[in-house]
């Protein structure tokens, strides 16, 4: 079953401006490359091996959910991926045996600015309350660079957690159980805050599923209405607790939390 967060996807209207803004937020941003569909990306690689993919589209891709969310709701978080624990094929077989509908394997590739080809395979669920799974074909260090690229002026070292907006908490909990093979470490209602919560732990990373249950949770309800189910907010390990400027993050809810 999937073992850790592979990457988090942020779709933006202007990639060059997003690169400058994420550098202003204290991240080291690397050039990515071009995909066959005409999209371009840039990367923020973290010391724990996860990364942010900042992606923009040169032309409309109406059949692709990331583009549709960007077009209809603007820049922001659109998806996240997990690494397989074994191979993608084995994880796919186990996931399907557990009753999860998922498409794949899907071949993917992009060209770096120097012409180097990077290739991977993925498997994607039709409903994005659960993440997709991504596996490298070419050496992982090509897709996820190592060394000084993983050091950031803001002190961020890795992904602490992903908060996921869902419409039906019980149904999504069952799907995460099937996908990860794990039981939630917490499940219930947060008194006074208007939402249901279930949390799954992948090592140090926590996946928090949230369901709006009252008008007190207006932000979550609005997100579900505009962007649908999926990644709602990201937390990073770093030197001190703080929220990052959403305008500079191009709509993404990002925060740094100090590891205890």
Indicate the domain borders of the chain. 4-149, 150-258
Q: What is the CA radius of gyration of the chain?
A: 17
Closest CA to 30 of 84, 110, 122, 107: 110
- The pLDDT of residue 69 is 96
- The pLDDT of residue 260 is 64
Cα 79 to Cα 65, 70, 128, 133, 224, distances in angstroms = 10, 12, 7, 11, 13
- The pLDDT of residue 216 is 63
DSSP code of residue 150: G
pLDDT < 50 stretches in the chain: none
- The pLDDT of residue 42 is 96
The encoded tokens of residue 88 equal: 């993608």
Q: Do domains 4-149 and 150-258 have the same CATH topology?
A: yes
- The pLDDT of residue 247 is 98
Pick the CATH number of 4-149 from 3.30.70.380, 3.10.180.10, 1.10.10.10, 3.40.50.11540: 3.10.180.10
Sign, CA dihedral 43-229-122-106, equals negative
Q: How big is the CA angle at 155 (ends 151 and 158), to the nearest 5 degrees?
A: 75
DSSP code of residue 87: -
- CATH architecture assignment, domain 150-258: Roll (3.10)
The encoded tokens of residue 62 equal: 């109406």
């Amino acid at each position: 079953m999937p073992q850790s967060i592979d990457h988090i996807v942020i779709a933006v209207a202007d990639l060059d401006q997003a690169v400058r803004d994420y550098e202003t937020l204290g991240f080291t941003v690397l050039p990515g490359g071009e995909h066959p569909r005409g999209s371009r990306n840039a990367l923020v690689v973290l010391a724990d091996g996860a990364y942010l993919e900042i992606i923009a589209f040169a032309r409309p891709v109406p059949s692709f959910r990331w583009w549709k969310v960007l077009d209809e709701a603007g820049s922001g978080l659109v998806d996240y991926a997990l690494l397989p624990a074994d191979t993608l094929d084995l994880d796919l077989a186990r996931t399907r045996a557990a009753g999860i509908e998922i498409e794949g394997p899907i071949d993917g590739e992009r060209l770096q600015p120097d012409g180097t080809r990077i290739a991977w395979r993925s498997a994607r669920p039709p409903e994005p309350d659960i993440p997709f799974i991504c596996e490298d074909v070419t050496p992982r260090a090509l897709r996820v660079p190592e060394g000084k690229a993983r050091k950031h002026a803001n002190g961020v070292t890795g992904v602490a957690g992903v908060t996921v907006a869902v419409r039906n908490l019980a149904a999504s909990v069952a799907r995460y159980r099937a996908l990860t093979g794990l039981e939630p470490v917490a499940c219930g209602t947060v008194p006074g805050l208007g939402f249901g919560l279930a949390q799954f732990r992948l090592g140090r990373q926590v996946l928090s599923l949230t369901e709006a249950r009252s008008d007190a949770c207006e932000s979550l309800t609005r997100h579900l209405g505009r962007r649908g189910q999926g990644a709602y907010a990201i937390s990073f390990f770093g030197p001190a607790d703080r929220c990052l400027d959403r305008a500079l993050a191009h709509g993404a809810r990002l925060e740094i939390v100090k590891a205890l």
